[in-house]
Chains A and B, each alone.
Chain A
Amino acid sequence: MSIILKNISYIYMAKTPYEKAAIKNINIEIKHGEFVGIIGHTGSGKSTLLQHLNGLLKPTTGLVSVDGQDINLKDEAARTAKRKVGMVFQYPEHQLFEETVYDDIAFGPRNIGIDEDEVDRRVRKAMNFVGLGYDEFATRTPFQLSGGQMRRVAIGGVIALEPAYLILDEPSAGLDPRGRDEIFGQIIKMYKNTGITVVLVSHNMEDVARMANRLIVMNDGEISLDGSPLEIFRDSQAQLKAAGVDVPPLTSLMNKFKQRGLAVDNTVTTMESAVQSLLAAVGRR
């Protein structure tokens, strides 16, 4: 049970003066139950890679399979396999269009021919997952909600399709800190409770470090690092810099302490552990 990308390359505007290989010879396997973070600067190929995971882009060369099925074939089996992959785009709230929150979340399941009883069950479940109370929100228009709430409606619409793999492209962009914490809180809860596989693209290193158990760093269309966030932030800071991404602010701060000769642990990913490490280091002096 996994998504496998085998020798994937994608060339934009082939055979024109603007020809550009957006991703080159990518080989990865995203296993069921993983929480994968993907980071990389703008133009590193993250979004192109993402769009291959559910067949939105067809690789110029190479093979994409979901649970063993080649998703770029034109048969029913390929369509079914693609539906296992739910995609939440950047600024998904721009894609809301129905008159009520309920109808917006129900749009996907209805569209694939699911009967109304099942649609109702799924909408309620999805709203519960994303933390929107059914009684309070179901009949409201999605367009007068806060940014964080609108985004949760949009994510709910993808959840209602009950994907086995959930792909999120910058789910916290443009949200205030509270909205960001809400969204990530829901994603973590869903991950823990349902075992859904999550692939998260983010510029925010801190969030990736905190949540993902595997980190993929993209640079110039290739995978430059692939491993646990802890190891990468500890051992590969030079490569991270070369890939144009920053270590999380907390790691950066702990590094500065280390450079000043304070024996702190610079692999910590939470405030509490950073404070404990600092207290221990100061206490030892």
Chain B
Amino acid sequence: MEEFIIVKNMCHIYVAQDGKQVKALDDINLSISKGEFVAIIGANGSGKSTLAKHLNALLVPSSGNCHVNGLDTTDLENIWAVRQVVGMVFQNPDNQIVATVVEEDVAFGPENMGVEPGEISARVTEALHVVGMEDYRYHSPHLLSGGQKQRVAIAGVLAMQSSCLVLDEPTAMLDPKGRQEVLSTVCQLHQDRKITVVYITHFMEEAVVADRVIVMNCGKVVMEGSPAQIFSQVIRLKELGLDVPVAAEIAHCLRQHNINITEGIITDEELVVAVCR
């Protein structure tokens, strides 16, 4: 598959208040294919958000490099092109809504890019339809629920016709229903529109739906693989201060009691079948 994001020996160093240099990212090597759904997990302070901000040139590497769609993010000339192809959605829905009407908020990106008004209107209609928010086009964003606000933010990225969506803990502030709304919207975009997705989360049951899971710790990529490969390593994940899906943990405990359960079980359904067979 075509490589969409290529990160080579990337470090990000910042200077803390006490004058010490802190390596937020430490020699990251990563490639993400076009159309791939990658979940990134890791403890607070492991470098997940710093990595995400490099993917649309909000931050640039201190050393090493980051190429997005063939463009080097350290080249100032490329910044706008990079930010057009990679759209970001942040944790707090209230921090990324800029307009007082939903349609204006979605139109903000394409307006900035100088798209023709007729075309903007068409894109807004389309984007709101895709995220299931067309009924709220003329509503005021601040009266929407958290899940709805996040879907409006996603629509804003779609209206820019970005081909990659980077979401930094988009569900951390939402209730279970809002979380479900956002996750299923993202899954649908990935499946139907082949959008490349980079999804940062603390919720392991969300990471389970990804094609590939990347685990970060202390600024490094420490594990990488399919959800089944990653989440069956219960002890390793716990050492990193992470959760595992309930089914994976129970499977792990049952194995320790000499119950024969196949490796790689991470969902409830798989576990029920394995135990009741």
**Residues of A at under 8 Å CB distance from B?**
41-43, 141, 144, 146-148, 173-179, 203, 244-246, 249-250, 252-253, 256-257, 260-262, 271-272, 274-275, 278-279, 282
Measured between beta carbons, the chain A residues less than 8 angstroms from B178 are 42
Distance of B3 from chain A, by nearest CB (Å): 30
- Check A260/B272 contact, CB under 8 A, given A176-B242, A271-B253: yes
Query: When the two chains form their complex, are residues A42 and B17 in contact, meaning their CB atoms are under 8 A apart?
Result: no
- Which of B44, B253, B275, B276 is within 8 Å of A176, CB to CB? B44
Query: When the two chains form their complex, are residues A177 and B242 in contact, meaning their CB atoms are under 8 A apart?
Result: yes
Distance of A97 from chain B, by nearest CB (Å): 16
Distance of A253 from chain B, by nearest CB (Å): 5
Measured between beta carbons, the chain B residues less than 8 angstroms from A244 are 175-177
Q: Which of A42, A262, A279 has the most CB of B within 10 A?
A: A42
- Check A279/B254 contact, CB under 8 A, given A174-B173, A178-B43: yes
Measured between beta carbons, the chain B residues less than 8 angstroms from A275 are 250, 253-254, 257
How far apart sit A253 and B246, CA to CA, in the bound complex (Å)?
Answer: 8
B72 at the interface (CB under 8 A from A): no
Query: When the two chains form their complex, are residues A278 and B202 in contact, meaning their CB atoms are under 8 A apart?
Result: no
B91 at the interface (CB under 8 A from A): yes
A-contact 0/1 string along B167-185, CB 8 Å cutoff = 0010011111110000000
A-contact 0/1 string along B229-269, CB 8 Å cutoff = 00000000000011101110110011001010000000011
**Residues of B at under 8 Å CB distance from A?**
16-17, 42-45, 91, 145-147, 169, 172-178, 202, 205, 241-243, 245-247, 249-250, 253-254, 257, 259, 268-269, 271-272, 275-276
Query: When the two chains form their complex, are residues A177 and B45 in contact, meaning their CB atoms are under 8 A apart?
Result: no
Residue in chain B with minimal CB distance to A256: B272
Distance of B236 from chain A, by nearest CB (Å): 14
Measured between beta carbons, the chain A residues less than 8 angstroms from B91 are 174
Measured between beta carbons, the chain A residues less than 8 angstroms from B145 are 42-43
Distance of B268 from chain A, by nearest CB (Å): 5
How far apart sit A176 and B200, CA to CA, in the bound complex (Å)?
Answer: 12
- Which of B176, B241, B246 is within 8 Å of A250, CB to CB? B246
Query: When the two chains form their complex, are residues B177 and A41 in contact, meaning their CB atoms are under 8 A apart?
Result: yes
How far apart sit A203 and B243, CA to CA, in the bound complex (Å)?
Answer: 17
A177-B242, A250-B246, A256-B269 known; 10 other A-B pairs, CB under 8 Å? A41-B176, A41-B177, A173-B172, A174-B173, A178-B43, A244-B177, A249-B205, A253-B268, A257-B276, A279-B254
How far apart sit A260 and B273, CA to CA, in the bound complex (Å)?
Answer: 9
Distance of A151 from chain B, by nearest CB (Å): 10
How far apart sit A256 and B172, CA to CA, in the bound complex (Å)?
Answer: 27
